[in-house]
Structure 1
Amino acid sequence: MSDASDPAITSDWGDWLPRTIEAAEPDGLAVWYLGCNGFVLKGADGTSLWIDPYVGLGDPPRTVRMIPVPFDPHDVYDADAVLATHEHTDHTHGPSQAPILANSGAEFYAADDSLAVTDEERWTDDWDVTADQLHEVEEGDSLSVDGFDIDVVTVSDADATHPVGYVIRYGDATVFHGGDTKPHDGFADLGAEYDIDLAVVAFGSVGRVPDKETRAPQRTRWYCDENQAVEVAEALRADRMLPSHWDMWKGLTADPTALHEHVRSFEYPGRLDIVEIGDRLDL
């Protein structure tokens, strides 16, 4: 949610995470959590999608990063596409994403307001990114990236100007990534249409964050609370739910293990996957 222009990015972990992802040969679909709301999905055919990768530091003292910077985007050479869910800095960010596009030749897919950020940040001027790598999507669109079939879906994030979500299918595995969505009436229809194996749901506490202009602390809810997170996964009829974003911003972090008590009486999600930055799970 910050808007600071970050200096040169230095990884706390060296290059082991991008090299690990590059070398991986999953049997089906592998998913790595990058912290915040970032993920890498890699299929058995070697195709990899990067969703909302962000390695910026935020806008201290308004937004303060609470987790390591797990990679330098200049170290990412193996990417086929980068997907952005909305225009906020921790989802569309030139210093985090443009070097990936430049080094890998990956395609970038995002809604109009996210593409406007690429213009404002001069991606094609300040990095070796070409205009034909940048693609606008909107709700109802479908696209394919090698073995991945991706549908662009409607989500509900009142803090964003044009958020979108993605239903991503690879073989028998289906993943929902809704960005920073809250519950939405249309999710029941998605749950009926798709057999969703894993739903990524942004989760966090309500906290006090300094206002962008006045810097006066404001009561802030950017992500689902426990009950809303379960409501999203239940409507989607997701077999598994993975809470994200809970680790990122000082004052808005949360304990994802609390979700165990919230999901236990519901049919969906059948399983709660709690991962930390850098972790891999397989579908």
Structure 2
Amino acid sequence: MTEIRSDWGDWLVRDVADATPDGVAIWYLGCNGFVLKGSEGTTLFIDPYVGLGDPPRTVRMIPVPFDPEDVADADAVLATHEHTDHVHGPSQAPILANTGATFYAPDDSLAVARDEESWTDEWDVAADQLTDVAEGETLEIGEFTVHVEDAHDPDATHPVSYVIEHDAGTFFHGGDTKPSDEFDRIGDEYDIDLAALAFGTVGRIPDKRTREPKRTRWYNDENQIIECAAALQCERLLPSHWDMWKGLTADPTALHHHANSFTHPRRLEIVEIGDRVDL
């Protein structure tokens, strides 16, 4: 069992625990991780990852912002797809064990948790805490309504996105999705206030099998992320994932130039790991 040790101690966990938002507070955990806390205290984690990657192939470029063992309050952990930086036992299983939260994920993500990493054997996680979700389903989690929606990530076997509704507004988490034909429908169906979409550059990353450098594009480029945001008709766009992996980092402030002539997004939310935004 791998232990996680935070570079920041427990201040971020305490910041979430002590917060009393009027609507919904959202903290960016770096990579593609977020934690949402509503005005009634319901707390959701989405794709929290505090692992170090697989050096020298994937090298973490940002601090480890919290120790999962320090999390005492959570109602659910949501995963978008099966990749390690989205489903990771040392990052997520201790949260489930400490809080009794439910892990919601598509089938291939659950296969990682159940079979590859054996969360129920390695941590104090019960089998009924692991719940399968699929596109078209709706979950009621405390004060949040969570819609499981389509995503387009050619590198994943079964990716999903989440539309999370609250009286204060609506948050969209796309995982590592690239532009999808479904986003026009999603944009018409929901009134999305804030969308988190993965952004990065193209770089040369060692191949997983041969370890030879290979031209790699895992995330949206500048044009793709604005294409997604425009189709989703989101008011605010929050670029994520740009900070994480050596060789694939990017400058999200460059997106101002790409977004300027589009109706949506109306505003960019440029945040760094540990920052909070509100709906």
- 1:90 matched to 2:81? The reply is no
Shift of 1:7: 3.4
4+ residue runs over 3 A deviation: none
- 1:41 matched to 2:70? The reply is no
Counterpart of 2:107?
A: 112
The percent identity for this pair of structures is 71
The normalised TM-score by structure 2 is 0.99
Q: Which amino acid aligns with 1:96?
A: S
Say if 2:108 and 2:157, in contact at 8 Å, map to a contact too.
yes
Counterpart of 2:220?
A: 224
Shift of 1:277: 0.2
Shift of 1:8: 1.6
- 1:26 matched to 2:32? The reply is no
Structure 2 gaps of 5+ residues are: none
- Match of 1:68, SS? coil
Q: Which amino acid aligns with 1:38?
A: G
Aligned mate of 2:175, from 162, 176, 179: 179
- Residue deviations 1:73-132, cap 9 Å, x none? 000011110000000000000000000000011110000000000121010001000001
The normalised TM-score by structure 1 is 0.97
Aligned mate of 2:166, from 170, 187, 197: 170
Q: Distance in 1 between matches of 2:100 and 2:72?
A: 8
Q: Distance in 2 between matches of 1:35 and 1:96?
A: 13
Say if 2:24 and 2:168, in contact at 8 Å, map to a contact too.
no
- Match of 1:21, SS? helix
Aligned mate of 1:214, from 190, 194, 210: 210
- Counting only pairs closer than 5 Å after superposition, residues 1-283 of structure 1 correspond to structure 2 as 7-119=2-114, 120-283=116-279
- Match of 1:25, SS? coil
Shift of 1:172: 3.5
- Match of 2:109, SS? helix
Structure 1 gaps of 5+ residues are: 1-5
Q: Distance in 1 between matches of 2:139 and 2:2?
A: 34
Range with bigger deviation, 273-282 or 7-16: 7-16
Q: Which amino acid aligns with 1:214?
A: T
Q: Which amino acid aligns with 2:62?
A: I
- Residue deviations 1:20-72, cap 9 Å, x none? 10110000011000000000011000001000000000000000000000000
Q: Which amino acid aligns with 2:277?
A: L
